[in-house]
Amino acid sequence: MYFELRKNYDNSQLVNLTIATPGLGTQNYICRHPDHVDPTFKPSKLLLVRRVKSFACNPWWEKEVLKSIGFEDKKYGDAVVIVKNTSDMCAMLWKVKHLVKIVPIKLPNKLPTMDDLNGTYLHENGTFYVVPKVESIREEAVEQFINNPKKLNHHIIQDKLRLKWLQGNLM
């Protein structure tokens, strides 16, 4: 951009680029180099939308947009809704961007199956965690360890040492 130019930078090196975007018209971009290529990225499929402003004191059309997004039952408190990242939904979110906080959800490479749905967690920064199901062999090993009669826990050790102390056999 022009305000980022340094003293030794020549304006003739800037390249004007016009991009036609559906719904937004044409936009002019200024590239520093003629062979400039934007880095590729994969947009997220889902968005975590958190309402940060209240319903009160907003025009009716913004309230209607919030209701159509899914905030109709969540008028009070810190409400969260998960929506698809589509052009229609982005257009609605653009109208109420001052009332909500939008966070893209980062999904793992391997999506969970129906059996793994109990071990999922969505963090507030948009990271979706999948905790794998504990195998039955591990559960049995933990049960055997807890119920092992040869294992000394602190209650047994405390009782034995107290009895030895009272009998005078500790030393």
pLDDT tens track for 59-95: 999 999 999 998 887 767 778 999 999 999 999 999 9
Identify whether residues 54 and 103 lie together within a single domain: yes
Measure Cα distances from 14 to 17, 18, 20, 26, 70 in Å: 10, 13, 20, 19, 45
Identify whether residues 57 and 103 lie together within a single domain: yes
**pLDDT averaged over every residue in the chain:** 81
Residue 34: inside a domain: no
Percentage of the chain lying above the pLDDT 70 cut: 80
Average pLDDT over residues 93-100: 93
Full domain range(s) for residue 148 = 136-167
Domain boundary among 64, 87, 107: 107
Residue 22: inside a domain: no
CB 50 within 8 A of CB 70: no
Q: Does pLDDT of 4 surpass 70?
A: no
In the three-class reduction of DSSP (H, G, I as helix; E, B as strand; rest coil), residue 28 is classed as strand
Residue 99: inside a domain: yes
Amino acid identity of residue 109, one-letter, is N
Structure confidence at residue 5 (pLDDT): 37
Identify whether residues 103 and 140 lie together within a single domain: no
Work out how many domains the chain is built from and give that number.
Answer: 2
Residue 113: inside a domain: no
Domain boundary among 107, 127, 149: 107
Query: What band does 29 get if pLDDT is binned at 50, 70 and 90?
Result: low
Q: Does pLDDT of 30 surpass 90?
A: no
Residue 157: inside a domain: yes
Q: Does pLDDT of 15 surpass 70?
A: no
* Distance of alpha carbon 53 from alpha carbon 96, whole angstroms: 10
Domain boundary among 60, 92, 107: 107
CATH assignment at residue 92? 3.30.1390.20
Q: pLDDT tens digits for 111-124? A: 877 877 788 889 99
Residue 119: inside a domain: no
* Distance of alpha carbon 63 from alpha carbon 57, whole angstroms: 10
Residue 75: inside a domain: yes
Residue 122: inside a domain: no
